[in-house]
Amino acid sequence: MDLGGFKAGFVAVVGRPNCGKSTLLNKLLQLDIALVSHKANATRKRMNLIVPFSDKNGNNAQIIFVDTPGLHRQEKLLNQFMLKDALRAISDCDLCVFMACIHDSIKHYEEFLSLTDKPHIVILSKIDTATQEEILKKIQDYQKYNEKFLSLIPISSQKSLNLENFLAEVSKHLPDSPPLFDTEILTDENMKQIYKEMIRESVFNNLSDEIPYESDVRIEKFIESAHLDKVFAKVFVEKESQKSMVIGKNAQTIKRIGKQAREKMELLSQKKVFLQLNVFVQKSWSKEKENLKKFGYDFED
């Protein structure tokens, strides 16, 4: 079958926590779907984000980027799941993108090389925060591993620098294939899951310290219609003191969390959203495998 130069494949985007993976993918999608937070380890599970690409030579591709949890090693059960999920994404993909902040030590890349020999592209992010001299120095640092990577591309998601070059380089290394998903969709996640992540993002952005890391969201009821989505969700924490902080004085904090999440939901869905949030305590939910499975973090292969 003549595919007319069409390519398609899965591309795992990996890197240390807070290197900017989700920010980059939202920029490529031109829509905020991937969870973004200034706090590390906000992304807990991989998510497929589908980016179409066409160049001036008539080459076309469907790039299925896989947003992954940050590569890190910690003893907590939830962190173990996150690392396992990221490694599984690397194993399953056609190509890997290792992303590092321009200011990061090269040792993180060396740790990545110890985990996999998957063909990969290196991108150095946040170059808008570095001088030209710093950028050139960092590129030079990576040259001792130039036989390991397919290419190295400095980018800035915020300033949209080199993003088209990045997409062109990725598509070049994908297999010849017809589109793997409907060309009209941006993710294969259902709306319920996306809404859950938007609530969790709002929790991360409105609370400090350990609470976001010891909290999760479960949507108990979801009613979808043409002009209105109704979402009934529970925010779970591990301690009574955390519950009080999530609710806040006169319920101001939970109202703020709900308002920000609902506004993002409405922007994405282009319709009204009714969101009801309640806060519950489930002690040690993140420290026991059976509890983690109830929240969708399955350790089985």
Domain boundaries, the chain: 6-172, 191-294
The pLDDT, as a whole number, for residue 296 is: 78
Sequence-distant (6+) residues with CB within 8 A of 156 are: 125, 126, 127, 128, 162
Which option is the CATH number for 6-172: 3.90.550.10, 3.40.605.10, 3.40.50.300, 3.20.20.150? 3.40.50.300
For residue 126, which phi and psi values (nearest 5 degrees)?
A: 60, 35
The pLDDT, as a whole number, for residue 37 is: 46
User: Within 13 Å, how many C-alpha atoms sit on residue 44's CB side?
Assistant: 25
The DSSP-derived string for 54-123 is: E-TTS-EEEEEEEE-PPP---SSHHHHHHHHHHHHHHHH-SEEEEEEETTS-THHHHHHHHH----EEEE
Sequence-ordered alpha helix ranges (H) in the chain = 21-29, 77-92, 107-115, 132-142, 163-172, 191-206, 240-247, 252-269, 289-294
Give domain 191-294's CATH superfamily.
Answer: K homology (KH) domain (3.30.300.20)
Is the fold of 6-172 the same as that of 191-294?
no
Cβ proximity of 122 and 109 under 8 Å: yes
The pLDDT, as a whole number, for residue 2 is: 44
The pLDDT, as a whole number, for residue 59 is: 84
> Would the pTM count as exceeding 0.85?
no
pLDDT, averaged per 10 consecutive residues of the chain (301 residues), comes to: 75 86 86 56 74 88 86 67 79 94 94 92 96 96 96 94 94 95 85 89 84 87 95 95 94 96 92 97 85 75 50
End-to-end CA distance of the chain: 35
Cβ proximity of 34 and 67 under 8 Å: yes
The pLDDT, as a whole number, for residue 39 is: 46
